[in-house]
A and B are shown apart, each in its own frame.
Chain A
Amino acid sequence: AAGVIQSPRHLIKEKRETATLKCYPIPRHDTVYWYQQGPGQDPQFLISFYEKMQSDKGSIPDRFSAQQFSDYHSELNMSSLELGDSALYFCASSSGRVNTEAFFGQGTRLTVV
């Protein structure tokens, strides 16, 4: 079965650079969530989208933005990167029309040097 696809799997950026992370949800899933997991931390909710509209917002820095496109894939844009942004970024998808759990991708490991 198709799973949530995240790209890239690994990314190295320098401070003050920008990064774009992509998430391709499971087919027919209309909801996407983004999480950030720092070293030794639990995943922290950043933002979510339902039917291409932002549905909830968590602890997402102002330097970050995200959107969900017409094909339901989502992108997390990160600007003015800081060392503290180094983390594992997870995307998850679910169906808002059917009660089911969110399925997580394998994550993108971002390292800021």
Chain B
Amino acid sequence: AQSVTQPDIHITVSEGASLELRCNYSYGATPYLFWYVQSPGQGLQLLLKYFSGDTLVQGIKGFEAEFKRSQSSFNLRKPSVHWSDAAEYFCAVGGNRDDKIIFGKGTRLHILP
């Protein structure tokens, strides 16, 4: 069965510092991988996605993620965080076509001024 693990429930970083959010997945076939961001009470905004090809994908807001098949990981990174990046981040996995997307439990990012 497909699953997503985000080992860090909360992460706190200082503004301007670099960020890495971890994500490990389990999927029986070639996965489609996603990172979403959600501000309190708001909808899900897609940051980036990986379907195939280059394993380093660029997203919006300066985020990037690297797919590592050998480690079943899809970690999200940002070189310098801004106070506006404080939010909940969800890693998700799905298949192609009509396969559902399964979310991790999320990582709450806190930014110190």
Contact = CB atoms under 8 A, between A and B. Distances in A.
A41 B6 CA distance: 13
A38 interface: no
Contacts of A107: 43-44
B100 A56 contact: yes
A104 B43 contact: yes
Contacts of B90: 42-43
A92 B101 contact: yes
A104 B105 CA distance: 18
Contact of B101 (A45, A50, A55, A106): A45
Nearest to A47: B100
Contacts, number: 56
Interface in A31-70: 31, 33, 41-45, 48, 50, 55-56, 58
Summarize A's interface: helix, strand, loop or mixed. strand
A94 B104 CA distance: 20
A50 B104 CA distance: 24
Given A42-B104, A101-B32, A101-B49, A55 B44 contact: no
Interface of B: 32, 34, 36, 41-44, 46, 49, 51, 90, 94, 96-106
Given A92-B101, A94-B97, A96-B98, 14 more contacts: A31-B97, A31-B98, A42-B103, A43-B90, A45-B102, A48-B98, A56-B100, A58-B100, A90-B43, A94-B98, A101-B51, A103-B46, A104-B36, A105-B43
